Amino acid sequence: MKKILGKKAIIAAGAITLLLAAGFFVLPRFISAPLQITVGVAGASGMAGEPFPPSSTPTPEGRPVGLMYTTKERVVNLADAGGYRYLKIQVVLEFALPEKEAKSLKGAAYTKKQEEFTNEMSARRGPIIEDIIGTVTGSKTAAAISTTEGKDNLKQELIKRLNEVTGEDHVTNVYFTQFLVQ
């Protein structure tokens, strides 16, 4: 009887040790996972090319919110030495509306205009926009985009490059709805 209890105690101690060892090696992977911050807009689906809901709130600059174009989520290798750093990013571009039109578009009219704009941008300029975002972000190092100033500089460079190809559609702002450097 004592031998059976001794064997059971040894087996139980071995099982507990095995579980603790597994936890020791597996748990840190979950704890040290990179923090991902996803910023969203209420009601936004986050799908590329899908329209954002209309906003009755003007921008901080006091101008009405323009039309939004959501790009695809992407993972880009950064220009760091060794090539082991990457950026997971999703961008929403805001395009200016003519002032007269911006004041008159509300509710359903805004939603309809947003849908038409999204479809038109996807068909006409979607691949060009996606290429520019991938090229510009891939040319940066992790150190260059990890600070607030670095992100602001990246936004300004994207606005400049995108306005060179978007013609009459003028990009007024760039929003990072996902931004993860690993």
pLDDT tens digits along 38-56: 444 433 444 444 444 444 4
**100 is a domain residue:** yes
**pTM of this prediction?**
0.66
Residues of the chain by 3-state class (helix, strand, coil), percent to 5 = 50, 15, 35
Tally of domains in the chain: 2
Regarding whether 71 and 143 lie in a shared domain, the answer is yes
Q: Identify the domain containing residue 106 by its residue range.
A: 67-181
Q: 44 and 52 in contact (C-beta within 8 Å)?
A: yes
Q: Tell me, what's the pLDDT at 45?
A: 40
Each residue of 117-151: pLDDT tens digit?
Answer: 999 999 989 999 999 999 999 999 999 999 999 99
In this structure, which amino acid lies at residue 101?
Answer: E
Please say whether the dihedral angle defined by the alpha carbons of residues 60, 134, 182 and 83, taken in this order, is positive or negative.
negative
Assign residue 124 the CATH number of its domain. Answer: 3.30.479.30
